[in-house]
A and B are shown apart, each in its own frame.
Chain A
């Protein structure tokens, strides 16, 4: 199933029927045995001449949530942007090394970054719904990629995405109202629905809860817990408690280096590196 999805986006010209897309969404990668989604080999990122990441080697598993933690400015966001090539949109930013997604180099010439971003969705620190209706926000991606041929299909995608983002019940009676009128937590779930609507395989989240109050944060973490069944999730967070709660794997970054990468359990109970220990016990940061 997953391979089919990959092919589909890779050759967007061959549009599957709506039924197939919906089926894909319903039966996206189940928790199989842990496969590797991304392999990072000596990944370096430069801003002009400044090296922000120093040769990162890391395998991201296909299932579950992988958390990226570390002090401010250590390169977490930079690393996250490597996976959907958003660094390409930053003038002066340059990526070196190899990132394989399902064994394919996503920085090779055959990969269109625009199509890659439909497979690898992203949720930002500050909720950024478009100044459009709730419906149009979610329908934005499917419209651009031509995922729905009929109005009815589009309605289905929108509803399914909102249901999956846990927002449907709150907004089903006001789909025509502007997305910017929702609360912060609702907006963040709206942009998650927007990302889900193009059936990505991966969702990147950059400190998604940092602008939310505790209740909205709890709701969001619950949602992440559900989403991990269907999507590979990478989350940057400055809250170690959050990393501990939602992730299965945790990577600790420090000054552009990947210091330690292990099961979340291990990182928080039995870190091997002194710097990790100092950070999680609050002595640095």
Chain B
């Protein structure tokens, strides 16, 4: 049993017991002190608020101790940790005992604690984002020390594998990313070419033609497409769609590899259909009914109303939906890793194998790598490009959608 009672576990136990006791203690104290004063209605806050306040106080002190410990743990003997924790909890109780009079504004303090706690939580998310961006930028800068940024952004030849061995000739490799960007772009284009019309027509059907019951069943069913794990799409693309396209092309005497932009792009298109259909359906629905009535009352048919009034009115929102779908397609990894191939071909033919930013990041970072080689650092540069691109797309999409919302609110 000995090894269970490590200082860390004891500390945790103290912490939990301390916080719970503090709550009960604070609440009890407030109740009894309120009863002592003649006019118990004069108490500012309900006893439970005193309890919450006490619990928070102790918890904050304990967190302080943990922070101290993490910073200085090297310099202190292990048994100090539980001791410090006990001390902090005791200190908490002394403070509570001092503060909790019937006139103490525990309710207001608790309110402030709640606000602070919520802020800290969102702060964590924001800081994490910043951290990721900073590390991307930092590592990319290191990469650009070795490979000039212009060569990276405009070079037509991508073959990082040449840098595999130190003693190899031409070990600096070739890091012209244009073929990768082109491949990404082509697969995205294929995906949107498929998902755009289908998603839009689904949205029109759902919002204008389907009755309530159909809509309530069909919409979630379509949305399931977005919930299928991408690895499943990946081998669907590799094992079913790719060979089917190859066989089809062979029927015309053409030879098409199993891995091709069209195989990966079309399967990805199916995956992003719900992004377009659901968002477009929402924006089409947000167009006020009075506009439909106005058009119908002028003797327009339903489809005239759709194409001439509703669609133009919803267009900004629909564009927003498309941009979000594009950014989703660009960042998609698994499908392209499995079905698009790894050859950095610079081609305009969707029936050839191409590669994408995400695929290259995967292949640069899998396997044994030195962390300092240009090859590894290139992944960060690609990641940065990807990030900037999707960020810009998302921002534009959100701005468009927001502007459109304001128009009708």
Chain A residues close to B by CB (< 8 Å): 84, 86, 89, 91, 114-118, 121-122, 124, 126, 128-132, 140-141, 144-145, 180, 191, 194-195, 198
**Least CB separation from A143: chain B residue:** B308
B293 at the interface (CB under 8 A from A): yes
- Contact present for A122 and B297 (CB under 8 Å): yes
Contact of A118 among B291, B299, B313, B407 (CB under 8 A): B299
B216 at the interface (CB under 8 A from A): no
- Contact present for A141 and B294 (CB under 8 Å): no
- Contact present for A195 and B298 (CB under 8 Å): yes
B183 to nearest A CB, angstroms?
39
| B 200-215 binary contact with A (CB < 8 Å = 1; else 0) | 0000000000011000
**Can you give 8 contacting A-B residue pairs, CB < 8 Å?**
A84-B297, A117-B298, A118-B298, A126-B290, A130-B313, A131-B291, A140-B295, A144-B304
A7 to nearest B CB, angstroms?
16
- Contact present for A121 and B297 (CB under 8 Å): yes
Q: Please indicate the chain A residues that have their CB under 8 angstroms from the CB of B293 in the complex.
A: 86, 89, 122, 124, 128
Q: Tell me the complex Cα distance, A115–B212, Å.
A: 27
- Contact present for A140 and B298 (CB under 8 Å): yes
- Count chain B CB atoms within 10 A of each CB in A86, A114, A124, A194 and give the residue with the most: A114
B300 at the interface (CB under 8 A from A): yes
CB within 8 Å of A: which B278-303 residues? 288, 290-301
- Contact present for B300 and A144 (CB under 8 Å): yes
- Contact present for B312 and A194 (CB under 8 Å): no
Q: Please indicate the chain A residues that have their CB under 8 angstroms from the CB of B308 in the complex.
A: 140, 144
- Contact present for A130 and B299 (CB under 8 Å): no
A146 to nearest B CB, angstroms?
11
Q: Tell me the complex Cα distance, A126–B293, Å.
A: 11
A-B contact count (CB 8 A): 67
Contact of B309 among A86, A121, A126, A130 (CB under 8 A): A130
- Contact present for B313 and A141 (CB under 8 Å): no
- Contact present for A131 and B294 (CB under 8 Å): no
For the complex with contacts A117-B299, A130-B309, A131-B312, 8 further pairs of A-B residues with Cβ separation under 8 Å are A89-B296, A91-B211, A114-B299, A118-B299, A124-B297, A131-B407, A140-B295, A195-B298
Q: Please indicate the chain B residues that have their CB under 8 angstroms from the CB of A124 in the complex.
A: 290, 293-294, 297
**Least CB separation from A90: chain B residue:** B293
* A130 and B294 contact, Cβ closer than 8 Å, known pairs A91-B211, A140-B308: yes
- Contact present for B295 and A130 (CB under 8 Å): yes
Q: Please indicate the chain A residues that have their CB under 8 angstroms from the CB of B288 in the complex.
A: 128
A259 to nearest B CB, angstroms?
28
Q: Please indicate the chain A residues that have their CB under 8 angstroms from the CB of B212 in the complex.
A: 91
Q: Please indicate the chain A residues that have their CB under 8 angstroms from the CB of B299 in the complex.
A: 114-118, 141, 144-145, 198
Q: Tell me the complex Cα distance, A122–B301, Å.
A: 15
Q: Tell me the complex Cα distance, A180–B301, Å.
A: 23
B271 to nearest A CB, angstroms?
33
**Least CB separation from A115: chain B residue:** B299
B199 to nearest A CB, angstroms?
23
Q: Please indicate the chain A residues that have their CB under 8 angstroms from the CB of B407 in the complex.
A: 131, 180
Q: Please indicate the chain B residues that have their CB under 8 angstroms from the CB of A131 in the complex.
A: 291, 312-313, 407
Q: Tell me the complex Cα distance, A121–B299, Å.
A: 8
| Interface pairs A-B: 7 shortest CB-CB | A118-B299, A128-B290, A122-B297, A117-B299, A128-B294, A141-B298, A131-B313
Q: Please indicate the chain B residues that have their CB under 8 angstroms from the CB of A84 in the complex.
A: 297
Q: Tell me the complex Cα distance, A232–B63, Å.
A: 79
- Contact present for B296 and A194 (CB under 8 Å): no
Q: Tell me the complex Cα distance, A108–B212, Å.
A: 28
A248 to nearest B CB, angstroms?
24
| B 258-294 binary contact with A (CB < 8 Å = 1; else 0) | 0000000000000000000000000000001011111
Q: Tell me the complex Cα distance, A130–B304, Å.
A: 13
B395 to nearest A CB, angstroms?
24
- Count chain B CB atoms within 10 A of each CB in A115, A116, A144 and give the residue with the most: A144
Contact of B298 among A89, A121, A126, A180 (CB under 8 A): A121
B339 to nearest A CB, angstroms?
42
Q: Tell me the complex Cα distance, A194–B300, Å.
A: 13
Q: Tell me the complex Cα distance, A89–B309, Å.
A: 17
* A128 and B298 contact, Cβ closer than 8 Å, known pairs A91-B211, A140-B308, A144-B304: no
**Least CB separation from A89: chain B residue:** B296
- Count chain A CB atoms within 10 A of each CB in B292, B308, B407 and give the residue with the most: B308
Q: Tell me the complex Cα distance, A145–B309, Å.
A: 15
A28 to nearest B CB, angstroms?
17
Q: Please indicate the chain B residues that have their CB under 8 angstroms from the CB of A145 in the complex.
A: 299
Q: Tell me the complex Cα distance, A130–B293, Å.
A: 11
